[in-house]
């Protein structure tokens, strides 16, 4: 690995002695080179041509199948100012893009994403699901599939087809136990590839399972991907709600509509004694939705069946269609698609991440 990295740097130096000085990060993994170069925002257009030249040169290295070069620029940001969305325009074949986000990990966002995607599909829409959580991809486990994606004749990656959903995750591309020891620019580059280099086909909805928090990936996606709206997932717990508020504020600053809040793990009913326990608090997310003046989409109880179905790779929306949880997901899907206004004739969104 270190030899390839050294060789890559030498090739950059041959192209231009100044190029190695621009390296922010370089990673070699699974026969791929991920290179991040820092540049002034004003010079991005010029560097786009150089980027293609570098990718071609490094791809010629023996043992390397592909190269991804990302350009990053740094500028001072202020917390109080609105964050402008960057130039985005419509692309064919994907009608609506929905972000499923949370400020905190461990609140059931990925479980919500896959079941919401299936529920929307059951309403008659064609659906794709992008797992944008590069550090902790969960979708392969939740659908019980780790097959490697294939390439189309045009050279694009074909999404995994499972449960009538088009799926893409970094978890399909790397070994299950392989840690993603990448800095921010590398992660953004990987998400970029999963968006732009995947042949999604015609989709009514692309559900994006976002990583937790409000970091590089979330901000980049929010600024550059024309989302129809965002769904926030949180438990009723005060600790989770603190971080959920941050997510809501981020989407508001980039003028992405908040479709509503889902309260996950809202209550637990003992399967034996039927006693109800509010393990993580009572109606915290519902109250937060009211305070934030956004819709409350529904609550999902903490059930053993939901956990078992997820662990077995058979989402509850398909395994136990008559369960309380499945019915709730279906109602949430109806609310989401109604709020998005799927029948509208608005221009189709374009997914562009440079």
Over residues 155-171, the pLDDT tens digits come to: 888 999 999 999 999 98
Q: What would the two tokens of residue 205 be?
A: 């909805």
For the chain, give every residue range classified as CATH 3.30.70.2210: 2-72
Share of the chain above pLDDT 90, in %: 33
Ranked by mean pLDDT, the top range of 9-13, 24-28, 212-216, 310-314 is 310-314
Q: What would the two tokens of residue 90 be?
A: 């419509």
Q: What's the whole-number average pLDDT of the chain?
A: 82
For the chain, give every residue range classified as CATH 3.40.50.300: 94-340
- For 261-288, the pLDDT digits (tens) are 999 898 887 878 878 888 888 888 888 8
pLDDT score at 343: 39
302, 268 Cβ separation under 8 angstroms: yes
- 287 CB neighbour count, 10 Å cutoff: 15
Confidence of residue 295 (pLDDT cuts 50, 70, 90): very high
**3-class DSSP string for the chain:** CHHHHHHHHHHHHHHCCCHHHHEEEEEEECCEEEEEEECCHHHHHHHHHHHHHHHHHHHCCCCCCEEEEEEECCCCCCCCCCCCCCCCCCCCCEEEEEEEECCCCCCCHHHHHHHHHHHHHHCCCCEEEEECCCCCCCHHHHHCCCCCCCECCCCCECCEEECCEEEEEHHHCCCCCCCCCCCHHHHHHHHHHHHHCECCCCEEEEEEECCCCCCHHHHHHHHHCCCCEEEEEECCCHHHHHHHHHHHHHHHHCCCCEEEEEEEEEEEECCCCCCEECCCCCCHHHHHHHHHCCCEEEEEEECHHHHHHHHCCCCHHHHCCCCHHHHHHHHHHHHHHHHHCCCCCCCCCCCCCC
- For 209-227, the pLDDT digits (tens) are 998 877 777 777 777 778 8
pLDDT score at 2: 59
pLDDT score at 134: 86
d(CA 338, CA 347): 17
Q: Give one word for 221, left, alpha or beta, with left for phi > 0 and alpha for psi -120 to 50.
A: alpha
Bridge-partner residues for 277, per DSSP? 268
Which numeric CATH code is attached to 94-340?
3.40.50.300
Residue for token pair 């192209």: 15
- For 49-77, the pLDDT digits (tens) are 788 888 888 888 888 888 888 766 554 44
d(CA 349, CA 2): 41
Going from the C-alpha of 352 to that of each of 90, 154, 192, 306, the distances in angstroms are 9, 19, 8, 35
Q: pTM of the full predicted structure?
A: 0.73
- 83 CB neighbour count, 10 Å cutoff: 16
pLDDT at 139 over 90: yes
Strand order in the sheet with 23-29: 23-29, 32-38, 66-72
pLDDT score at 45: 62
Region 181-206: mean pLDDT is 83
CATH architecture entry for 2-72: 2-Layer Sandwich (3.30)
């Amino acid at each position: 690995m270190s030899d390839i990295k050294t060789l890559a740097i030498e090739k950059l130096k041959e192209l231009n002695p100044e190029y190695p000085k621009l390296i922010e990060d370089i990673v070699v993994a699974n026969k791929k080179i991920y290179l991040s170069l820092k540049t002034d925002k004003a010079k991005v257009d010029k560097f786009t041509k150089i980027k293609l030249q570098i990718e071609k040169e490094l791809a010629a290295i023996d043992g390397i199948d592909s190269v991804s070069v990302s350009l990053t620029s740094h500028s001072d940001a202020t917390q109080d100012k609105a964050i402008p969305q960057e130039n985005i325009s419509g692309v064919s074949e994907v009608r609506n893009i929905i972000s499923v986000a949370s400020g905190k990990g461990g609140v059931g966002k990925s479980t919500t994403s896959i079941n919401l995607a299936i529920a929307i599909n059951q309403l008659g829409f064609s659906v794709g699901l992008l797992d944008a959580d590069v550090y902790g991809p969960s979708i392969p486990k939740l659908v019980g599939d780790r097959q490697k994606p294939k390439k189309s004749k045009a050279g694009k990656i074909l999404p995994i087809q499972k449960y009538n959903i088009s799926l893409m995750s970094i978890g399909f591309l790397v070994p299950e136990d392989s840690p993603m020891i990448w800095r921010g620019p590398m992660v953004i580059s990987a998400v970029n590839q999963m968006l732009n280099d995947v042949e999604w086909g015609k989709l009514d909805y692309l559900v994006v399972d976002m990583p937790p928090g409000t970091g590089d990936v979330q901000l980049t996606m929010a600024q550059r991907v024309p989302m129809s709206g965002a769904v926030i997932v949180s438990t009723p717990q005060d600790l989770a709600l603190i971080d959920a508020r941050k997510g809501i504020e981020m989407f508001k600053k980039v003028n992405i509509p908040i479709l509503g809040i889902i309260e996950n793990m809202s209550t637990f009913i003992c399967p034996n004694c039927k006693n109800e326990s509010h393990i993580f608090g009572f109606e915290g997310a519902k109250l937060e939705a009211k305070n934030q003046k956004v819709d409350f989409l529904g609550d999902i109880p903490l059930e053993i069946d939901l956990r078992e179905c997820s662990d077995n790779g058979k989402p509850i929306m398909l395994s136990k269609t008559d369960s309380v949880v499945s019915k709730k997901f279906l109602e949430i899907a109806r609310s989401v698609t109604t709020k998005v206004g799927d029948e509208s004739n608005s221009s189709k969104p374009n997914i562009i991440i440079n």
